[in-house]
Each structure stands twice: as C-alpha cells, then as structure tokens.
Structure 1
Amino acid sequence: MKKRIWFNRTFSTAYHFIDMIRTNPDGLDFEFYVTHPKRYSVMLQNADVAEIEPSLPIPEYIEYCVQFCQKHQIDIFFPNYRLVEIAKHIGRFEQVGTSVLVCKDADLLETVSDKGKLFQALRDTPGLHIPDYFIVNTSEQFKIAYEKLREKGHKVCFKPASGEGGAGFHIIEEHMNPLDKLLGSSNQTIAIDEVLSIIGDQTVDDIMVMEYLDDWEYSIDCLATEEELIAIVPRKKVEGRIRLLEDNQALIDLAKAVHEQLRLPYLFNVQVKYKNGVPKLLEINPRASGGLHSSCLSGVNFPYLAVKLLLSGKVEVAAPKFGVYATHIEKEIVLRQLL
C-alpha cells in the first residue's frame, strides 16, 4: 500500500525531493500531496494530488494542517512552513496517524530560528566560531553597534535576527553616492546614514548587526537522529550557480559540534562563511535546505533517507562522494491547470 506524503508550502527546488523519494532504491511506493498558496507554484505540478493552500492566521493554519492530514489520511507530513507551530502541536498530528518530519522540541526550533538566541546558545561550543555581532532595536543602538564593530576593523552588515535566507541582508558603506545605489549592480549595499534615518524613532524587531564575512560560503547538509549524525556534505558556493561538494574536515567537525550541542534530528543545514581562513557561523536551518538536491549528487539521497528514518528509526548510508562540481540550468515546464 502506498504511503501518502504531504508537502505544505515550500520552495520550488523541493520539486527534486519528490523525484528522489519516488525513485528510492528500496522500491517503496509513495503518493504525493502538495499544497501551496500560489496557483502556479511548480511544486503543485509534481504532485499526485495538488490543492491551493489558504493563507490563515497561525491557530487556524494549524487546524487546517491537522484536518488536511486527517481528511487525506496522510502518513508523512514533510513541512517547510510554520515549523515551530507545527512542532508545538505534534501530538495532534500523531492522533490522526500522521508522522511529522520535524524536530519535536518547539523551544529548540524557536532558538535556532532566531540568530541572536542561536549564537548565544552556541557561543561556548568547542571548535565553533561566532562572528562579532550585536542585537539592536533602535537607531541609537544600531549606531553604537556599528561604531564598535568598525573600531574592531570590521566591515559591517546586518539582517533581521529571525529572517530566512538573504531576506533583509545589507552591507553598510560609510558614504554612498545615491546615484551609484540607483544604477549600481548591487541592491544589498546601504549607507549608514540612510539606515539610521529609516529606523528613526521607531523600535523595530531584532536586527543583527555583525561583521561582514567576505570569503567562501558553504552550506553543510546533514542527516541525523537526536543521538547520531549520520551524513554530512559540505557544499561550497564557488561562483554564480557553481557548487562543489567538498571533503572539508574542518566543516565536517563543525557540523558534528553543532549536532552535539543542539541534537537536531532528520534534516538540517549549517551555513558558514570564511573570513581570514576561519569558518564562522551564519545560520542553521532546522529543515531541508533549498540546495539539498545538489548535495544528493554525493550519492546520499537525503530526502528519502529522512523519510525512511522517520518511518523505521534507522538507515544505512554509504560514504558520500566528494569532489563533485555541479550547476543547474533553467528548464521549461508546461503547467497543467488546477481548479
């Protein structure tokens, strides 16, 4: 009998996750349910059953999720959206017979999702380097943080403490010609005076002001139980869309140190960036990363193994293949119309 898997709203590259689970080496059959609020999301095109997902307040969204699982007899929920809230109500999903591919510790997920709390929790972790940073809420605090980082010789950047990916990320310049900003190639650069003017007298949500890390960036994709880190693949951003799966022992050890401290299960991703030869933590995603399909070129089928781990509690993983360079090209997909 086919196992039913549901993906709620997620990024387009999860399209590959469905293919990797479908073509699993054990020959297991799955039926895929996908929901997304955007009618033309490519994720809906790779589903056996696709529905438009409503935009709801948190309590109502959780109710929607539970009812969806119950109505469609979902065996495995592979969430990307609202992880913390889903973890808080994990018992409700279990009551309707659905296993959820998420860390059950909602407090831990809240910590990991807030960079300020995360850095504080990991500050004494052996072998892990945290960038110099400050958490601020006012323009005065921002100015003080900026000046202290500059006194240490740092170029300065900032982003929302609870932001995801590159949303809200900016690099600060002392002075900028407004015309350069208007016509320049980067929209991530901003003058300090402009930042302070925009914040003004407001008190804003936590902003992380930190040293800018200007060297190689890596994503480290991991598969784990709470007790054991099973697979680790460091993925280097070489240039543009080029990625390298690299046998980097320093980053493998770093991932082990993070897991030893946090004990995140299933899929998680550690992002680091180098400065002066030292890898420093950027963030941790307690879920499948958007680029996980590239790390699967190592021979480790991360999405399927995570599902198998959820169902059986154990998996066997071959040693990953490193030294793989990869990229991707655009491919057209004709969209079937959804009701």
Structure 2
Amino acid sequence: MRVWFNRTFSSVSAAISLIRQADPAGRFYLIYSNPSPHVAAARTAHAFYTEPRGLEMDAYLDWCLACCRDQQIDIFIPGKGATALAAQHERFAAHGTRILSAAPAEQLELIHDKARFYAASHVAGAPVAPFLPFETADQFDAAYAALRPQHRQLCIKPSHSVFGLGFAILDEQRSSAALLLAGAAYHIGYDDFRRGLAELGSCRPMLLMAYLDGEEYSVDCVGEHGRLVCAVARRKPATAGQGQLIDMRADILGACAQLASTHGLNGVFNIQFRLGDGVLHLLEINPRMSGGIAMACVAGPNLPWIALSGFADGYGRVHVPAVRDGIRVAELASATELA
C-alpha cells in the first residue's frame, strides 16, 4: 500500500521511522516529498520526490492529484495544503486515493483562526483564558482596560500562527531594549508595543489574553472521525533540562475526547493545555503531528502506526497498547550526513 506524506513539519521524519519500525513486513511503502532534497525525511522514507516551488494553491492541488494518479498513491497524508485538500476527498477518491485529513475543511479553518476557535470553545474543565481581539491601537487600549484589572499579567499572540511565532508577554516595567539585553525571551515592553502599534495604524488580527504562568501539557492523540482512539499527555516542567513527564490526567483526557467529538478530529493530532492559577486552560488544537510525537510514543502507543493502520484497515483491527503513565521522556539529538 503506497502512502504519501507531502511537505510538512520536521516531525514527519520521526513518524515515518516509527511506522517502519512497526511494519517489518513492509506492507506500507512510504513516500515523502519536499522542495528540498536535503531534509531528514528524505532519508527515512522508502522514496522521495521533489516538489515544485512557487505554485498557487489551486495549481498545487492539481499537482498533488497528478502525483497521486501517476504514482498510484493509496493513502495521502497532507501537510501543505491540508485544509484545502480536506475539501477534495471525492476528487482524489475518483483516482483511487484516500486522503487522511485531521478534520473536515470547515473545522480546520476554525481551528486555525484562534479568535474564532476560542470564541466557539466551551470545554468542560478546560476553559480558554480570557481574551479580546484587536487590530488597532484603540482596540488594544480598550481590550487592555477591560482585561488588566482582572489579571496581573497579559500577553499577545496572532490569531493565525504556528510555533508560537508572534507570542509575547507584555512587560509594564522594562523597555524592549532592556528585555533584549536581559535575555528575556518572548517578552516585549508594553509602552514600546503600544507606540509601535499606533505608528502602524493597524495590524493583522491579534489577541490580548491573560497570561498563563503554569506548566504546559501537550497531548498527542489519534482519532477516528470524532472518536478519541488514543491519547498520550506530556507535562512540560517549568525548569528546562528535566525532560517531560507522561501525566494521564483524567480531566485532560476528557477534554481531548470532547474536542475530538466537537471538531470531528481524525488521524494524528495534538492538543495543548496550560495551567494558570491552578486552573487548566485550553491553548490550541494542532491538526497535525507535534514536534514531540516520538516522545509520546516512548510511553507505549505508536501513534503514527495506529493512525495509518486504523485508517487503512479499520480501528477494530488495531491493537492500542496501554500508556506507561508517570514515566519521564526526552529526545536525544544525533548528527547525520545529508545527501
């Protein structure tokens, strides 16, 4: 069975390796594509194809369809163009290719827009932190006046972003220069930000939120069209260098099951939570494999394998091992030569 991963995040290399480890008979022939041949997944997949650069999305979808047809792809697991491809299942099925999408297209659009997603989220036991959207200095001032009296520290983040890009904690005491010189990452001076926003006139949609200062939980999951099949929760200690703890909190697992059902989540996805004043809060859904997927799999379930074999054969035929709750995990970097 020929399986194609197109351009996506670097965790695909770990996922391909995990699938191959669980598939000694070689039932799945794994293909990866990327515009650059100098990526780790080019070495871990059975085959590698070079993707074209600079295509608009419609042209890219046409290229994907031609690739599936010409390479006789049975299962397509998209990274790039995943939201657009989630609306193309019938078109690809006509050529014999099933697309493994993390959710229906309309749900993916909602999940990627944090302002809309937060407004629509009502998760028992894991509320979203208080927030207000803004795009201008006046809107920011009004949001700050509303939120600051209720919360000792606020932060900003873009409504559309990945990897935490654009996130910053607002510091009311120090300038951005002082923060930079002090090595305070992910901080920005309140006055500097307010002045810069006024100079810009407007900005992309942003959120002003209560800052959550507790530990973060990253939960790697497998779902079947809204049913939570498996989840592994990793707790990230506040102090670096201690690895991560597998912490299967019942409230977190319940929240993940609710979110999977609400959004029709499917295949491998990741949900993040964070504590603030001792209360668990929902941060976001990543409708893709997380960067820590390999650490989650150390706890027992091989999540990429479970998702792929369940999608191919039905989850009733897939064994899901118990999670080794309480263990400490980490990733060890190793160097290699790239072709």
TM over 0.5: yes
Query: How far is the alpha carbon of 1:178 from its aligned partner?
Result: 4.4
Q: Distance in 1 between matches of 2:113 and 2:226?
A: 24
Structure 1, gaps ≥5 residues long: none
Q: Are 2:205 and 1:206 equivalent residues in the alignment?
A: yes
Which residue of structure 2 aligns with residue 118 of structure 1? Answer: 117
Which residue of structure 1 aligns with residue 284 of structure 2? Answer: 283
Query: How far is the alpha carbon of 1:22 from its aligned partner?
Result: 0.9
- Under a length normalisation based on structure 2, what TM-score does the superposition of the two structures give? 0.92
Q: How does 1:260-271 map onto structure 2 within 5 Å?
A: 260-271=261-272
Is the Cα–Cα contact under 8 Å of residues 103 and 265 in structure 2 kept in the other structure?
A: no
The one-letter code of the counterpart of 2:169 is: I
Query: How far is the alpha carbon of 1:227 from its aligned partner?
Result: 4.8
Which residue of structure 1 aligns with residue 3 of structure 2? Answer: 5
Change in Cα spacing, 1:55 to 1:322, as seen in structure 2 (3 Å) is farther
Q: Are 2:244 and 1:243 equivalent residues in the alignment?
A: yes
The one-letter code of the counterpart of 2:281 is: K
Is the Cα–Cα contact under 8 Å of residues 224 and 265 in structure 1 kept in the other structure?
A: yes
Query: How far is the alpha carbon of 1:104 from its aligned partner?
Result: 5.2
**Deviation larger for 110-119 or 177-186:** 177-186
Query: How far is the alpha carbon of 1:28 from its aligned partner?
Result: 4.2
Q: Distance in 1 between matches of 2:120 and 2:314?
A: 28
Deviations along 1:50-95, one digit per CA (max 9) or x if unpaired, are 2332232211111121112112111121222221111122222212
The one-letter code of the counterpart of 1:88 is: A
Which residue of structure 2 aligns with residue 321 of structure 1? Answer: 324
The one-letter code of the counterpart of 1:116 is: A
The one-letter code of the counterpart of 2:43 is: Q
Which residue of structure 2 aligns with residue 174 of structure 1? Answer: 172
Change in Cα spacing, 1:19 to 1:121, as seen in structure 2 (3 Å) is same
Q: Distance in 1 between matches of 2:213 and 2:232?
A: 22
Is the Cα–Cα contact under 8 Å of residues 78 and 99 in structure 2 kept in the other structure?
A: yes
Query: How far is the alpha carbon of 1:103 from its aligned partner?
Result: 3.6
Change in Cα spacing, 1:247 to 1:91, as seen in structure 2 (3 Å) is same
Q: Distance in 2 between matches of 1:109 and 1:56?
A: 22
Percent of pairs identical after alignment? 29
Query: How far is the alpha carbon of 1:214 from its aligned partner?
Result: 0.4
Deviations along 1:113-144, one digit per CA (max 9) or x if unpaired, are 11111112213x33331100011111211122
SS at match of 1:41: coil
Deviations along 1:185-224, one digit per CA (max 9) or x if unpaired, are 2331111222223333533221111011001001111111
Is the Cα–Cα contact under 8 Å of residues 16 and 293 in structure 1 kept in the other structure?
A: yes
- Under a length normalisation based on structure 1, what TM-score does the superposition of the two structures give? 0.92
Aligned mate of 1:43, from 36, 41, 44: 41
**Deviation larger for 41-50 or 215-224:** 41-50
Q: Distance in 1 between matches of 2:240 and 2:96?
A: 43
Aligned mate of 2:142, from 140, 144, 169: 144
Structure 2, gaps ≥5 residues long: none
Is the Cα–Cα contact under 8 Å of residues 245 and 322 in structure 1 kept in the other structure?
A: yes
Aligned mate of 2:195, from 194, 197, 201: 197
Q: Are 2:154 and 1:153 equivalent residues in the alignment?
A: no
Which residue of structure 2 aligns with residue 187 of structure 1? Answer: 185
Change in Cα spacing, 1:180 to 1:295, as seen in structure 2 (3 Å) is same
SS at match of 1:15: helix
Q: Distance in 1 between matches of 2:134 and 2:299?
A: 40
Query: How far is the alpha carbon of 1:25 from its aligned partner?
Result: 5.4
Q: Distance in 1 between matches of 2:184 and 2:63?
A: 40
The one-letter code of the counterpart of 1:195 is: F
Query: How far is the alpha carbon of 1:283 from its aligned partner?
Result: 0.5
Query: How far is the alpha carbon of 1:17 from its aligned partner?
Result: 0.7
Q: Which runs of 4+ in 1 moved over 4 A?
A: none
Query: How far is the alpha carbon of 1:331 from its aligned partner?
Result: 0.7
RMSD (Å) for aligned C-alpha atoms: 1.8
Q: Distance in 1 between matches of 2:30 and 2:307?
A: 16
Q: Distance in 1 between matches of 2:268 and 2:144?
A: 35
Is the Cα–Cα contact under 8 Å of residues 134 and 145 in structure 1 kept in the other structure?
A: yes
